Amino acid sequence: MTDISKNHWDNIYSTKQPNEVSWTQELPKTSLDFLHNANLDKQANIIDIGGGDSKLVDYLLEEGFENITVLDISEQALTRAKKRLGGKAANVTWIVSDITEFQPTTSYDFWHDRAAFHFLTTEPQIVKYLSTTRQAVKENGFVTIGTFSTDGPKKCSGLDIKQYTEDTLTAELKNGFKKVKCIIEDHTTPFDTKQNFLFCNFKRTEHLNNHPLPLN
């Protein structure tokens, strides 16, 4: 985990309230729609990558899902989410990690990422992310990724991001995943501005190797 990245996000979550950051959503409707379309049972293993203090976990708990993991590079973000959830936070697995250093020990039925992947702007970062995803997601499991589209912002929170189209995102996941559906939508920020997002859902088609990720 790079200290620069961790410090950047810890500072954001320590100094800004949800109504002061662009990514805040009261209702993560698109994410929930993709999850509902997966027809998961309540024991399914779900992970939210870069979940921060997103309210997706609140809705998943409310719906009765029992095996939820939230991963974020910022411990401050997860602390805020835990505080909001109170006693319910004990029913969630919380992981502080840079996604490019994440070594999963669980296989997931549903991998959700809204606006983490697009912060990976170098080929080694992207390759590592996709390798981890292929290893972590069960065969016939689902991956939903939301990024800024080519009509969206080029930066977020002062950091460069990588924009995607349906074709370019699908190409990145061609090895081991089949596209199910992609949509384009505007996210309305707390400042009443618009950010154009691409969301794509993929199904895990085959494991190219059956060896788990090394744990060190």
Q: What is the pLDDT of residues 152-175, one digit of tens each?
A: 888 787 788 899 999 999 999 999
Nearest alpha carbon to residue 72 among 155, 6, 118: 6
User: How would DSSP label each residue in 60-111?
Assistant: HHHTT--EEEEEES-HHHHHHHHHHHGGGGGGEEEEE--GGG----S-EEEE
Q: Which two tokens stand for residue 196?
A: 């154009």
| Domain total in the chain | 1
Evaluate whether residue 210 is within a structural domain.
no
pLDDT in tens, the chain (216 residues): 455 588 877 887 778 877 766 556 878 999 999 999 999 999 999 999 999 989 999 999 999 999 999 999 999 999 999 999 999 999 999 999 999 999 999 999 999 999 999 999 999 999 999 999 999 999 999 999 999 999 988 878 778 889 999 999 999 999 999 999 999 999 888 778 888 999 999 999 975 544 444 433
Q: Is residue 65 part of a domain?
A: yes
What region, left, alpha or beta, does residue 64 occupy, with left being phi > 0 and alpha being psi -120 to 50 degrees?
left
pLDDT at position 14 is: 79
The whole-number pLDDT of residue 193 equals 85
Quick one: pLDDT at residue 6? 81
pTM over 0.95: no
Flag whether 18 is in a domain.
no
The per-residue pLDDT for 23 is 58
Q: Which of 95, 106, 45 is nearest to 70 (CA)?
A: 95
Residue that has been written with the tokens 């997860």 in this structure = 78
Structure-token pair, residue 64: 């009765």
Domain hosting 35: range is: 3-13+27-204
Q: What is residue 161's predicted lDDT score, i.e. its pLDDT?
A: 87
Burial 181-201 (b: 16+ CB within 10 A, else e): ebeeeebeeeeeeebebbbbb
Residue 66 counted as domain residue: yes
Is residue 122 included in any domain, yes or no? yes
d(CA 203, CA 142): 5
Domain with residue 101: its CATH number is 3.40.50.150
Say if CB 32 and CB 26 are below 8 A apart. Answer: no
